Amino acid sequence: AQSVAQPEDQVNVAEGNPLTVKCTYSVSGNPYLFWYVQYPNRGLQFLLKYITGDNLVKGSYGFEAEFNKSQTSFHLKKPSALVSDSALYFCAVRDPVNTDKLIFGTGTRLQVFP
Amino acid sequence: KAGVTQTPRYLIKTRGQQVTLSCSPISGHRSVSWYQQTPGQGLQFLFEYFSETQRNKGNFPGRFSGRQFSNSRSEMNVSTLELGDSALYLCASSTGQFTDTQYFGPGTRLTVL
């Protein structure tokens, strides 16, 4: 069965420093991978996705993610964090062999300190 | 294009009552998925409707049901409410292709007293 893990409940980073939010997955085939961000009392906003092709995916607000098949990871990165990046981040996976649903990780709270 | 809209935004109900939530997808989108978000369980998939048919279903009791209309608008119903049903209910729309992005609405905050 497909699954996705976000091993860190919270990530703290100083403004201006690079940030990484980790995500690993388990699927039977090649995965479709997504990152979303949620601000307080709001729905989820799409950041980026990997379907096929280049392993480095660039998305909204300066975020990017690298698909690593050997490590089954899809970590979210940003070269320079902003205080406004503070939010809840979700990784999600869809298994193209068993494409019945999009499975979300438990979320990682990113706190960027000024 | 207008985004996904959900009504109402907030609801307060008591145990035993039933509730209906509404979701209007992005124009042209034929798939609507529903999720329940709670602090303890995270984001849990409820069901997906595509062209008025339930295409996928999560592991929720039969008290949770939904439907989709010919204009792709969707409703979700919860009967015999329990305290544990208090959650943020999110709907997401997409074209229905499995590679497509799901776009989320702002959610309906349901509180069961």
Distance from CA of B101 to the nearest CA of A (A): 8
Q: How confident is residue A9, by pLDDT bands cut at 50, 70 and 90?
A: very high
A40-61 average pLDDT score = 92
Q: What is the pLDDT of residues B21-76, one digit of tens each?
A: 999 999 999 999 999 999 888 899 999 999 999 998 999 999 999 999 999 999 99
Per DSSP, the residues of B15-60 read TT--EEEEEEPPTT--EEEEEEEETTTEEEEEEEEETTEEEEE-S-
pLDDT at residue A113 is higher than 70: yes
Q: If pLDDT is split at 50, 70 and 90, which confidence band does A57 have?
A: very high
pLDDT at B99: 86
Q: What does the pLDDT read at residue A110?
A: 97
Q: Which chain B residues touch A96 with a CB distance below 8 Å?
A: 98
A22, pLDDT greater than 90: yes
Determine the average pLDDT of the residues in A42-71: 94
* Average pLDDT over every residue of B71-85: 97
pLDDT digits (tens, 9 = 90+) for A79-107: 999 999 999 999 999 877 766 688 999 99
B68 neighbors B77 (Cβ within 8 angstroms): no
Instruction: State whether residue A61 is helix, strand or coil.
Output: helix
B79 against B1, higher pLDDT:
B79
Chain A: residues touching B (Cβ < 8 Å): 32, 34, 36, 41-46, 49, 51, 90, 94, 96, 99-107
By percentage, how much of chain A surpasses pLDDT 90?
A: 79
Position B1 pLDDT exceeds 80: no
Count of CB pairs separated by less than 8 Å, A with B: 47
Higher pLDDT, B62 or A2: B62
Inter-chain CB proximity B43 and A34 less than 8 Å: no
Give the residue-averaged pLDDT of A69-86.
96
Q: Which residue is closest to A95 within chain B, CA to CA?
A: B98
Is the pLDDT score of A56 beyond 90? yes
Cβ neighbourhood burial of A14 (10 Å; 0-12, 13-18, 19+): exposed
Kindly indicate the confidence band of residue A2, based on its pLDDT and cuts at 50, 70 and 90.
confident
Q: Would you state the pLDDT for residue A99?
A: 62
Tens digit of each residue's pLDDT (9 = 90 or more) over B90-101: 999 999 888 899
Q: Using CA coordinates, name the residue in chain B closest to A32.
A: B99
Say which amino acid occupies B80: T
